[in-house]
Every structure is written in C-alpha cells, then in structure tokens.
Chain A
C-alpha cells in the first residue's frame, strides 16, 4: 500500500524533506528485507535506473523553498524528488489564509490535482494522503486547507491524515492565530485524523533532551521527522500474522460518545491526567515482545465510556528504527491539546473583537461571518474535549 505526501508551503516542504530522509535512511540501513521493501514501496517509487523517488507532490506559492528542498534531497545521493512533482508560483501568500484558500488554491487547483493524479497513478494500491503543512502562514494553512478539500472530493474513499505544525506561542507570524483558527475549523470537517507538532514542545525536546545549544529550524524539523517516521514506518499487529499488512495511515479515531444521560462509573479519579479518548503505542526494536505495557491500559487514563482494551492500540516492529536500538512512539487522542487550542482561540478572539487585520482578510473574499463560523466550530471542539471524563 502506498501513501502520497503533499508538502505545502515553507514548513511543509522543509519538514517533508527531512521526513523522506529519515524514512529512506531507515529503510535502507536496516538489514530486514521485508521491512525495507514495504517501507520503500509505501513512500518511494523506483525509477527505471533504480533510483528512489519520493511519492510526493511539492506545492508552494514561491519557488525558493522547493528549490532548496529538491536540491537537498538530490545531494543525499540516496533518494530524490520527481523532477516534475512540484508546483510553485512566483509570489507567496503573504501569510494570509484567505489569499491561500479563496484565491490561490482555486486558481491553481487544476495544476495541483494533475500532479496528485500522476503520483496516484504510480501507486499499485493507494492507502491515502498525508498533507504536511503549518497553520501559521498563508500557503500551508490556506492553500493546504483548500487542497485537502480537493483530495476529499476527488478521492472520497482514501484516508487523509493531515500533519500540522503549530507555531511558537510567542509569535512567528502576527496573524498566526487567525490562520490557525480558520485552518483547524475547516480541517475538522475534512480530515480523517490530524497529527500535531507544536514548535514550542519540539524546541524543548531539542534544548532539554538533545541538549542542542543553538537550535535551528533544521533541528526542529529533524525531531518532527523522527517522530512522524516512528508512526508511519511498517509495524505488525496481532491481527497481521507476521506480515506488514496493516493500513499505514488507518488510524481510526472515529469514536462516538454515549448520550449525556447515561450513567457513568469511574475506576479512579485521576485529576492530574489528561483524559484520553484513545492511545496508540508503537514499539520498535529490541525486546518489543517482552515489553511491559500494562500501564497504558489503566482505566484512569481513559474516558469512562470506552474500555481500555478498545481504547489502546499496540503496534510493534522488531526492527530498530532510525538507528535507535529501542524506541517508542505514543500517538494520543486526548485533552493534551486542549490548553494550546484554547490559548490559540482566545488570542484570535481578542484580536477579532477589535477587528484588527480583518480588512486584510476580507479583501481576499472571506467575511466576518466565516470567521464567526470557524470560532463557533472550534469552541465546540474545545467543549467536547473539556467534558471528557
């Protein structure tokens, strides 16, 4: 099964390039033929000369980053991007979601869909799409949201897993909260799952765990690529009987809470945990079959209306990932994102209350009503997550 990645905007293209790098070196360096073959098939295709080309479409509204990412990939000598798999314009989106979503996305829809179609044709069996983008800028957020919608329309039965990078809380882009709110509200309706990395958190990983002194965006992106690779590389499940047959991005988060009137019983009151709806634990490398994972099944972590054995998924791979003898990845659908999401909405709402910058958005075709709809939508998400018990 193959996955087509769509890299959008500066962040999407920079992160995407690091991700393919990690996956290529992981697949190639490891001496497990099946793992290697499955991984390569998933994310790369082989040219007639035997070179690996990423199953990726690179989109940006200005050319510098795409050029940089493509040449960086080619320099690695181990993989590259397809010569014609990219689309760029001359002028960026100006950090304006409305410009990306209402003007540039529709304008270039045909060209982008054609690139995606060509990439999909190279896949024997399409598992789905991973759009990679940031939410703070204009292209990743605005054009990215529009393209996600197109993917949904053209490939209704394929999975769409969006990877989003949330900006530092203390400003990279002044209107980042507007762009984020508009993106998240739309993606919520379009996406099957949204995987989030926050720059602030990844920055802490770089400084506190990796002890990097002068942290660059390359460092940040490499950590993101490592974690994302940890999720996406092949794994085995009890049901897969020793074959890497599990759907690569079939993360099923569709849960339906019981009606509010149902009585609820709780095992332990665990006020200090973020309540989880569901968790996915992925173990790779040595001793995966003997690892003790009972703690992840503690009912205290989970919402009361899902039994832990349904809420916890466990994937394993005896193959060490990215040169780590043992590694574990936890993907969590929980209240962990509640605080950052609430902060983002609060700041955006304060700005909206004074109507600051609204004229910049309105001139590209969205209205104050559209803003209000997005705010309403996100308040509902916040409310639903807050009420998990």
Chain B
C-alpha cells in the first residue's frame, strides 16, 4: 500500500484541502466500521503511534502540509473541529499575505521559506513507508497559491524526483475580481507545464454551475421523488464540521474528485488503477498533461438499487458538459486518452457495453482509437451505489488556455500593474515573456493535434520482412 501527501497552499488550496480531509474521514468512517487503523486509511493518514495495523484509531494524522502566507484560513482550520487532527509541525504561515502577486509568492516567500518548506515536506515523506504521490492543491489567480504553490511544485521535483506530482489547480473565471489574476495564472501555468506530472484544472464557474444545478433539482424534488435533498457530492453532512460555510459546497466537489481518483489505490477492486498508472496512460507527450475531470453522479438518490438504465445514464452524464469541472467541449474536440474510474457494484460487462455505446460519438486521435484506461473499485462513495470519474486528455483545454492568454495579453500590452511584480527581488520582465511563450507553445501543440482531426489518417506503413 502506498501513501500520498497532500500539500495545500494559499487560501483556496487550504479551504479545498480542509474539505478533503473532512470528507476523507467521512468516507473511511463509513467503510471502516470497527474503527481499526487499516491499510486503506494509511494511504492518507498515519496513526499517532506510527503505522501499526489493527490499532484502534487513537489519533489520526493526515499526511499533509498546510502553507499560507496569511493566517486567517489556517487558523480557522485550527479553531474548527479538525483542530485535533493537524499538528503545528505540518503548518507554515506568515502574516501579510502575497497581495495577489505571483512574484511575491514564488520569489520572495519562496526564497525566505525554502528551507522550512523542504523540511516540512521531508518530515511528511519520512512518515511514509512508500510514498507514491504528492497532491498539490492551489488556485492560479492569487499570489500565494499560485506563486508559492508553484515554487513548492518545483521543490517537490528537486527533492523527490521519483514521486508523482498531481496538481489540482483552480483557474479563475473571466469575471474574477482579482485584476492581476491573468498574470498570476500564466506565470503559474509555465511552472505547471514544466514540473507537474498531471494537472487537474478546475474552473470556479463550473463549480458554481454544478452547485446551482443540484440545488435546483433538489428543490424541485417532489415528495416521493427519488432525489434526496442533500447531495453527498456537495454536502459535508456526516462529516466532522457541523455547519457549512460559503464555498464549502463548491470545494466539496473538488474534494470528491480527489477521493475518487485515489479510491482504487485505497480499496479493493477487480481491476485496480493505481496513481502511477494515471500518468503512464493519460500523458502521451510530456507537456500535454492537463486532464479534464468529470464527476457523476452529482445527485444522491434515495433509492440505492439502481436499474441498468440509470447506470448507463451515469456513463452518458460523464461525457456531458454539465458534469465537467472546467467549461469546455470535449465532444467537439479531440480525445488523446480517457480514463474511467468506476466505483461500486459495476462489472466489466457494464463498462464494455457503455464504452461501445458512447465510443462512436467521441472523436479520438488516430493513433489512439481505443484510448481507454479503465478501473473498477468495489467500494462506492458515501451516499451512492456507484460513481464514475472520467479524466480526459482532450484538446478542449485549448480554448480555455487561449482565453487565458488573451486576458494576459490585454494587460501585458498596456504594461498594467507590471511594476508591482518587477519590484520583487529576482523578478525580471523576461519571466513574463517566457511564460507567455510557454503557454503559446502548449497551445500550438494542442492545435497541431486538433488539425489531425479533420484529416483521415491512414495506418502507418508496416515494417516489411525479408521472406
């Protein structure tokens, strides 16, 4: 059994991270009825006395490092019900924040706290028997999450080159109220492209849309109807925290994403899918590692015995725009690869039937016509009989990145707010132009693949053998 460490950076990263730990505890409590420390728990938690199987859960420590350059959020976590669970050696805070400035986060705090960060990461890693993955959670638009978060990413690559780095990055919407978010996002993108193994981009607006949709559906639910009022995907009910704060519903969705992606490494199944298989199967070229996540179902059904039709509906939903965590249109772009991680009582024949059914409507790149990676985990998530997480490496991220580049260029052309960045020690204007070219090169790679979509690519001529 392998372990993973979660590194949450900045306000957004810590809020999402907090929801993740709450929901993880809820999930394990649901599965682990006897309260004994087992292998599944060990992937994210250690027992206070060290890793010993079969011990009662005396004191669970999440394998986490919490970093923020202002104290509000982390202190909030420490006042809340999860305070028992973290200890001070896992935290790194400062007081003044990064002023929504990537350079402050990455260069100023990055240098000042470099050794401290590396020490905390090393400590977390030492507690792990076999460390497989770092999950980094941060937003792209601010200063700490974006700047210091990406600095942590490059430190992870330096110090732990063999450990997988999966980044959950929250991208700002066009209407974001932080004026400099395009700068921060593009500067961070370059780091993600170069140092991450996989990136799961999540857009705030998509989360808002999903939350609205769920509450609309639940409120419309008439008595006797099968939909439950509270969706376990967005609700923290049954978790540790008693009251729900603003953004909790949105952050719960991201937390569920992380629970589902790790389900097959934690629990049994007839076709296991480990974390190291995700990058190996979904990343055909090193820089094209942006995977569009899509989560179903979103509503909790009161009736957990679901007939086949509902099961098939779950597969169809995974490919609909409404269930994606970024606003994009994969069906009209090109799939490079797609992973389906199924949880619950779903068998291989259900999987095959749905792949065959959906395949004709999904455009796959010519050299990966059967580009499916599948996993079957027998343990369903809390409140559902089954669930499906689809991770698609699809060129539909190109418009998202192009839009980001446009917002960046609008500001950069006018040299707006540049001086705030250039004031920071170590920040040069070349960083901006390099980040821009990195993004443009990435867009170009996707574009190149897109161009193959319309053309009929013949099979590559085979080797001829001397008879």
The segment from A154-162, A291-299, A302-310, A352-360 that touches chain B is A352-360
Q: Are B348 and A68 within 8 A (Cβ)?
A: no
User: In the complex, A215 Cα to B376 Cα: how many Å?
Assistant: 13
Q: Are A91 and B347 within 8 A (Cβ)?
A: no
- Count residues on chain B whose CB falls below 8 Å from chain A CBs: 47
Q: Are A214 and B350 within 8 A (Cβ)?
A: yes
Chain A residues whose C-beta falls within 8 Å of the C-beta of B422 in the assembled complex: none
Q: Are B347 and A215 within 8 A (Cβ)?
A: yes
In the assembled complex, how far is the CB of residue A129 from the closest CB belonging to chain B, in whole angstroms?
A: 26
Q: Are A91 and B2 within 8 A (Cβ)?
A: yes
Chain A residues whose C-beta falls within 8 Å of the C-beta of B58 in the assembled complex: none
Q: Are B369 and A65 within 8 A (Cβ)?
A: no
Q: Are A216 and B371 within 8 A (Cβ)?
A: no
User: In the complex, A18 Cα to B401 Cα: how many Å?
Assistant: 50
Contact with A along B359-372 (1 / 0, CB 8 A): 10000001111111
User: In the complex, A360 Cα to B467 Cα: how many Å?
Assistant: 34
The segment from A77-85, A165-173, A227-235, A247-255 that touches chain B is A165-173
B463 touches which one: A138, A212, A379 (CB < 8 A)?
A379
User: In the complex, A356 Cα to B285 Cα: how many Å?
Assistant: 6
Q: Are B276 and A94 within 8 A (Cβ)?
A: yes
In the assembled complex, how far is the CB of residue B450 from the closest CB belonging to chain A, in whole angstroms?
A: 14
In the assembled complex, how far is the CB of residue A211 from the closest CB belonging to chain B, in whole angstroms?
A: 12
In the assembled complex, how far is the CB of residue B345 from the closest CB belonging to chain A, in whole angstroms?
A: 9
User: In the complex, A108 Cα to B145 Cα: how many Å?
Assistant: 41
A10 touches which one: B132, B271, B366, B465 (CB < 8 A)?
B271
Q: Which residues from 84 to 99 on chain A have a C-beta closer than 8 Å to any C-beta of chain B? A: 89-92, 94-96
Chain B residues whose C-beta falls within 8 Å of the C-beta of A170 in the assembled complex: 352, 355-356, 359, 370, 372
A349 in contact (CB, < 8 A): yes
Q: Are B370 and A173 within 8 A (Cβ)?
A: no
Q: Which residues from 345 to 389 on chain A have a C-beta closer than 8 Å to any C-beta of chain B? A: 345-347, 349-354, 356-357, 359-360, 372, 375-376, 379-380, 383
User: In the complex, A345 Cα to B355 Cα: how many Å?
Assistant: 22
B221 in contact (CB, < 8 A): no
Q: Taking A214-B350, A351-B367 as contacts, is the C-beta distance between A172 and B372 under 8 angstroms?
A: yes
Chain B residues whose C-beta falls within 8 Å of the C-beta of A245 in the assembled complex: none
Chain A residues whose C-beta falls within 8 Å of the C-beta of B268 in the assembled complex: 64, 68
A318 in contact (CB, < 8 A): no
B456 in contact (CB, < 8 A): no
B282 in contact (CB, < 8 A): yes
Q: Are B374 and A350 within 8 A (Cβ)?
A: no
In the assembled complex, how far is the CB of residue A232 from the closest CB belonging to chain B, in whole angstroms?
A: 24
User: In the complex, A383 Cα to B462 Cα: how many Å?
Assistant: 12
Q: Are B348 and A220 within 8 A (Cβ)?
A: yes
Q: Are B286 and A171 within 8 A (Cβ)?
A: no
In the assembled complex, how far is the CB of residue A302 from the closest CB belonging to chain B, in whole angstroms?
A: 22
In the assembled complex, how far is the CB of residue A89 from the closest CB belonging to chain B, in whole angstroms?
A: 8
A151 in contact (CB, < 8 A): no
Chain B residues whose C-beta falls within 8 Å of the C-beta of A357 in the assembled complex: 280, 283-284
Chain B residues whose C-beta falls within 8 Å of the C-beta of A353 in the assembled complex: 367, 460
Q: Taking A91-B130, A171-B371, A383-B467 as contacts, is the C-beta distance between A207 and B349 under 8 angstroms?
A: yes
Chain B residues whose C-beta falls within 8 Å of the C-beta of A171 in the assembled complex: 355, 370-374
User: In the complex, A372 Cα to B463 Cα: how many Å?
Assistant: 9
Q: Which of B270, B348, B371 has the most CB of A within 10 A?
A: B348
In the assembled complex, how far is the CB of residue B411 from the closest CB belonging to chain A, in whole angstroms?
A: 35
Q: Taking A96-B280, A175-B280, A218-B270 as contacts, is the C-beta distance between A383 and B352 under 8 angstroms?
A: no
Residue of B nearest to A353 (CB): B460
Q: Are A350 and B366 within 8 A (Cβ)?
A: yes
User: In the complex, A170 Cα to B348 Cα: how many Å?
Assistant: 12
A41 in contact (CB, < 8 A): no
Q: Taking A63-B1, A174-B372, A351-B367 as contacts, is the C-beta distance between A216 and B277 under 8 angstroms?
A: no
Chain A residues whose C-beta falls within 8 Å of the C-beta of B464 in the assembled complex: 379
Q: Taking A215-B348, A217-B270, A217-B348 as contacts, is the C-beta distance between A173 and B281 under 8 angstroms?
A: yes
Q: Are A216 and B347 within 8 A (Cβ)?
A: yes
In the assembled complex, how far is the CB of residue B380 from the closest CB belonging to chain A, in whole angstroms?
A: 16
Chain A residues whose C-beta falls within 8 Å of the C-beta of B374 in the assembled complex: 171-172
B272 in contact (CB, < 8 A): yes
Chain A residues whose C-beta falls within 8 Å of the C-beta of B132 in the assembled complex: 91
User: In the complex, A10 Cα to B284 Cα: how many Å?
Assistant: 24
In the assembled complex, how far is the CB of residue B433 from the closest CB belonging to chain A, in whole angstroms?
A: 27
B337 in contact (CB, < 8 A): yes
Q: Are A95 and B356 within 8 A (Cβ)?
A: no
Chain A residues whose C-beta falls within 8 Å of the C-beta of B359 in the assembled complex: 170
Residue of A nearest to B278 (CB): A94
Chain A residues whose C-beta falls within 8 Å of the C-beta of B312 in the assembled complex: none
Q: Which residues from 46 to 81 on chain A have a C-beta closer than 8 Å to any C-beta of chain B? A: 62-65, 68
A203 in contact (CB, < 8 A): yes
Q: Which residues from 306 to 352 on chain B have a C-beta closer than 8 Å to any C-beta of chain A? A: 337, 347-350, 352
State the B residues within 8 Å of A (CB).
1-2, 39, 129-130, 132, 268, 270-272, 274, 276-277, 279-286, 337, 347-350, 352, 355-356, 359, 366-374, 376, 459-460, 462-465, 467
Given contacts A91-B132, A372-B463, 13 further A-B contacts (CB under 8 A): A14-B270, A63-B1, A95-B280, A171-B370, A172-B374, A215-B349, A217-B271, A218-B270, A349-B459, A349-B462, A350-B459, A357-B283, A360-B283
Q: List 11 A-B contacts (CB under 8 A).
A: A90-B2, A91-B274, A170-B355, A170-B370, A172-B372, A203-B352, A217-B270, A360-B280, A372-B463, A379-B463, A380-B465
Ordered nearest first, which 10 A-B pairs have the shortest CB separation? A171-B372, A94-B276, A215-B349, A353-B460, A90-B130, A356-B284, A171-B370, A217-B270, A216-B347, A174-B281
